[in-house]
């Protein structure tokens, strides 16, 4: 039976760093996928909003609220809904990483409750 060879920590770190860095950068710069929730209050995915824009052809960004209530809860997603509405190519639109998006919303909600 083979036993793993123990390596000093510094050697393991030197060999693991490039791979860990690549993985970290890939995760860090991941864009929002179509099935990720854009409106976190009403769990409306990005795909639904894009499809609504394509099919219903709203005249104003505020009409996106008819898409399952997107943007009518806390208001966090309104700027992102506006960006999707204004973009001519939704796939080219750069949206944040879903994890970062949720964390930023938590901060936004805390600030909103502290101001009340």
Q: What is the pLDDT along the chain (116 residues), one digit of tens a residue?
A: 555 554 444 444 444 444 444 444 445 446 889 999 999 999 999 999 999 998 998 888 899 999 999 999 999 999 999 988 888 544 555 677 888 889 999 999 999 888 76
Under 8 Å between Cβ of 90 and 84: yes
The domain tally of the chain equals 1
**Domain range for residue 53?**
37-109
Q: Which helix (H) or strand (E) holds 37?
A: strand 37-39
Could you give the 3-state DSSP secondary structure of residue 13? helix
Under 8 Å between Cβ of 65 and 80: no
CA 38 to chain centre: 7
What does the alpha-carbon distance between residue 49 and residue 65 come to, in Å, rounded to a whole number? 10
What does the alpha-carbon distance between residue 36 and residue 80 come to, in Å, rounded to a whole number? 13
Residue 94 within any structural domain of the chain: yes
CA 84 to chain centre: 13
Tokens (6 digits) for 14: 């030197």
Residue 47 within any structural domain of the chain: yes
Residue 67 within any structural domain of the chain: yes
Residue 26 within any structural domain of the chain: no
């Amino acid at each position: 039976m083979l036993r793993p060879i123990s390596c000093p920590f510094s050697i393991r770190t030197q060999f693991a760093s490039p791979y860990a860095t690549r993985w970290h950068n890939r995760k860090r710069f991941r864009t929002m996928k179509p099935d990720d929730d854009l409106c976190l209050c009403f769990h409306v995915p990005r795909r639904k909003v894009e499809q609504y824009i394509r099919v219903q052809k709203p005249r104003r960004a505020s009409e996106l609220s008819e898409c399952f209530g997107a943007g009518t809860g806390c208001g966090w997603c309104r700027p992102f809904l506006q960006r999707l509405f204004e973009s001519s190519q939704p796939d080219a639109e750069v949206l944040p990483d879903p994890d970062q998006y949720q964390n930023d919303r938590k901060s936004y909600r805390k600030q909103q409750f502290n101001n009340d």
